[in-house]
Amino acid sequence: MEPKVALITGGARGIGRGIALDLAAQGWAIAICYRTSERDAEATTKAVIELGGQGIAIRSDVSDPKACRELVKRVEEKWTKIDALINAAGPYHRVNLFEETPKGWDDMFTNNLHPVFYLGQAVAPGMKTRNYGRIISFSMANADKMEAQPMVTAHYIAKVGILVLTRTLARMLAADGITVNAISPGFIDSGSAPPGELDGMAKKIPAGYIGDVKDTLSAVRYLLSDGARYVTGTNVHVSGGWGL
């Protein structure tokens, strides 16, 4: 029986890496997309194979629509299909809106929102041919509230955009057996936050503690499962109640 195939952007580190290893343990074939983290991507791919999955690491700048099409083509040529696209890449920076630069502003959309659109376009034809597919993108807890965010404005708007794009793709692809959903983490200790940023946040979280990468995995497993075949266009909060 052929393994299911997942393409994971941001799969070299953090939440993306956790998803890659979890799926590998279930026998999935994993394509890890990275842009600069070559050493981490190679280490994660090695761990995927050690866990019993198949794995490749592909360098690609998914802010480029042509690169996205080539990335999808390469994965499909290797394994004939992509069962799941997981958009886990999501760089951010913290800066006062009035001190933001045009480049910094543009980067937040170019690297957070645009790849979800480009890759969604690229994987849809193959998924539609097979009448099956799963697309999961990562937003952030409280993005659905559209609050003022003076220090992470562009990043936040991009994450709001992911929710709108998720619902739009879900509506357009539902008849083709493809589900499209979002996961919105709160404060997760994934190793990506600057030192000290998570300190003191636990008291602001109703659950009383910072989440772990493992807390996101159950949501991913469910949304990828046959049990979630009728679940599409949703936004799953994984935040311990923060952002509600």
Question: What span, in angstroms and rounded, lies between the C-alpha atoms of 198 and 123?
Answer: 35
pLDDT tens digits along 176-227: 999 999 999 999 988 766 656 777 888 889 999 999 999 999 999 999 999 9
> Which of the residue ranges 12-21, 43-52, 146-155, 191-200 would you say has the lowest mean pLDDT?
191-200
pLDDT tens digits along 59-95: 999 999 999 999 999 999 999 999 999 999 988 899 9
pLDDT of residue 233: 98
Mean pLDDT along residues 52-56: 94
Question: What span, in angstroms and rounded, lies between the C-alpha atoms of 149 and 155?
Answer: 9
CA angle 238, 241, 244 (to 5 degrees): 105
pLDDT of residue 190: 85
The residue among 38, 58, 46 whose CA lies nearest residue 21 is: 46
Q: What CATH architecture does domain 5-238 belong to?
A: 3-Layer(aba) Sandwich (3.40)
Which residues are known to be catalytic?
Answer: 156
Give me the amino acid identity at 84: A
CB 227 within 8 A of CB 191: no
pLDDT tens digits along 99-157: 999 999 999 999 999 999 999 999 999 999 999 999 999 999 999 999 999 999 999 99
Question: What span, in angstroms and rounded, lies between the C-alpha atoms of 125 and 45?
Answer: 27
pLDDT of residue 6: 98
